[in-house]
Chains A and B, each alone.
Chain A
Amino acid sequence: MFDQPATIVELQNLFVAYQDKLALEDVTLSIKAGEFWGILGPNGSGKTTMLRAMVGLLPLLSGSVKVFGRPVDRLGDVRQRIGYVPQHSRIDMYFPIQVREAVMLGRCGKIGLARRPDRSDHEAVARALQLVDLEDLANRQIGQLSGGQRQRVLIARALALMPDLLLLDEPTAALDVGASESFYAWLHQMHTKLSSTLVIVSHDVGVVSRYVTAVACLNRRLVAHGLPHEVLNRDTLEGMYGCDAMFFRHGDVPHLVVSREQTDVTRNRKLTDE
């Protein structure tokens, strides 16, 4: 992308609140072209809020968000370069729509107001369906899919745009191990070959740290950010999760450990339940 500015997403002293409760506090972060960011943090730490702020779904209390150099409330046509996979979509399971049509709607803005999809649109949809392995289910009504398959529809919908910036909010939460592995492998490819900029929210510290080039740890504030091996140490995790957690490797799979309980948990979701 020759016209791509070096900084793709820029958050500056960002504050976001729901009613009177702060969800993000003074977050400053800059995401450069071609980077692959992992966003970590316990439940309710503001990860989803941060991604939603990046696509202009939330009013900002103060500070600024710029994407592709444009203020987020005036994104205009750069919206067509952003793919967003929400954590919880409020879509209606019984809505009379098939997988293929739902994925096509991801290109709704790109196709243009009052226009019909043409061949390139159909090709992009076919490719997106292929990438998430949903070709066989393309004509199914979305309610007749499993939870993981439905999540793949949301991913395909974002991919149908062939975005330069892909924002993923826990995209693998409902995927089985195989689908999750191949999805990460594919993300890795997209990152290395197409030099797309990726931001992924996940609780899979181990998997994330294997693929990402940078990590941000959120707990309303930005607790730490930087290279994965620098950030993912005892102090930051302790600061972030507020308990005596630590991070170690055996083999090449990193684990999170809570010393108090002496239990090994790969999914740190459990840690935050305390």
Chain B
Amino acid sequence: MEILGYTFMQRALWSATLIGALCALIGVYVVLRSMSFIGAGIAHASFGGVALGFILGVNPFFTTVIFCTLTAWAIAFVSDKQKIREDAAVGIFFASTMAFGVLLIGLMRGYNVDLYSYIFGNILAVSRFDLYSSLILGVVVVGLIALFYKEFLLLTFDPEMARVVGLPVRTLNLLMLTLVALTVVLSIKSVGVVLVSALIVTPAASAFLLTDDFKKMMWFSVGIGVGASWLGLFLSTWLNVASGAAIVMTVTLIFFLCFLFSPQRRRMKQRMSRLKQLIKS
């Protein structure tokens, strides 16, 4: 356990806790609203944001926040017109924002960028700045979820009724997408562009199998997310493998354990088929 004495390991643990909790929390909405694909789309868009930061010479964190949020809004705007389905809109932005990133990096010939760590993440390289920005944005995300708890619940449960009772549905939708984008950006440094959507979807999907109660689903999801992040982190240092991958494998293992040993196995089959529909992407 002397490894805990190292600053980088302490930062990694804090980061794992923050990101595990945040991703799992926002994941509850992502799973219940079948937005998994949007999550993945936003994550891949961050690649373009990172590249933009490098070419402009500013901290990629800021460019990525802006780039991902704008991409999320663009997806909402294009599919809001009802002319095109949301998954098609995501598909378009998914590829084009990554292509944009690849183009930018191509323009920076000879420039030595550690892109590998952005694609697969490195939680042991988390800086003090990363940690504080995670903390601040994390508080903002949790605060907004607490503040608009019933609005987000109705929007997720019955969007049509949300319109009938007069909720500002469009604004709330954009807000939720923004929260997903912020969460994704915060997590990239630790788990990378490719793996972040697993950290969002899998804890919530596991929690979905365990309970019938929305609040409990949130708590379970957060518990699973944080637990898996810790476990994955220790496994990665112990086995000396990539942390992001170890965390994602751990959370996937937990999902299958929930799947096999859920207290509600009787109704499991129905729930599983519903879950398949929810995360069909």
A contacts, CB < 8 Å to B: 55-57, 75-77, 79-80, 82, 84, 86, 89-98, 101-102, 104-111, 113-114, 116-117, 141, 143-144, 157
Contacts and interface: CB of A to CB of B under 8 A. Distances in A.
Contacts of A141: 212-213
Contacts of B163: 56-57
Interface residues of B, number: 29
B164 A79 contact: yes
A77 B217 CA distance: 33
Nearest to B217: A96
Contacts of B212: 96, 98, 141, 143-144
A86 B160 contact: yes
A108 B167 contact: yes
A106 B161 contact: yes
Contacts of A84: 161, 164
B112 interface: no
Contacts of B164: 55-57, 79, 82, 84
B216 interface: yes
B157 A102 contact: yes
Contacts, number: 91
B7 to A, nearest CB: 39
Chain B interface, >50% SS class: helix
Nearest to A94: B274
Interface of B: 32, 147-148, 150-151, 153-154, 156-158, 160-168, 208, 211-214, 216-217, 270-271, 274
Nearest to B271: A94
17 contacts: A80-B165, A92-B32, A92-B274, A94-B274, A95-B32, A96-B212, A96-B216, A96-B217, A102-B157, A105-B153, A105-B154, A105-B165, A108-B150, A113-B167, A113-B168, A114-B151, A141-B212
B166 to A, nearest CB: 4
Nearest to A102: B157
B158 A90 contact: yes
Interface centre among B150, B168, B216 (most CB of A within 10 A): B150
Contacts of A105: 150, 153-154, 157-158, 161, 165
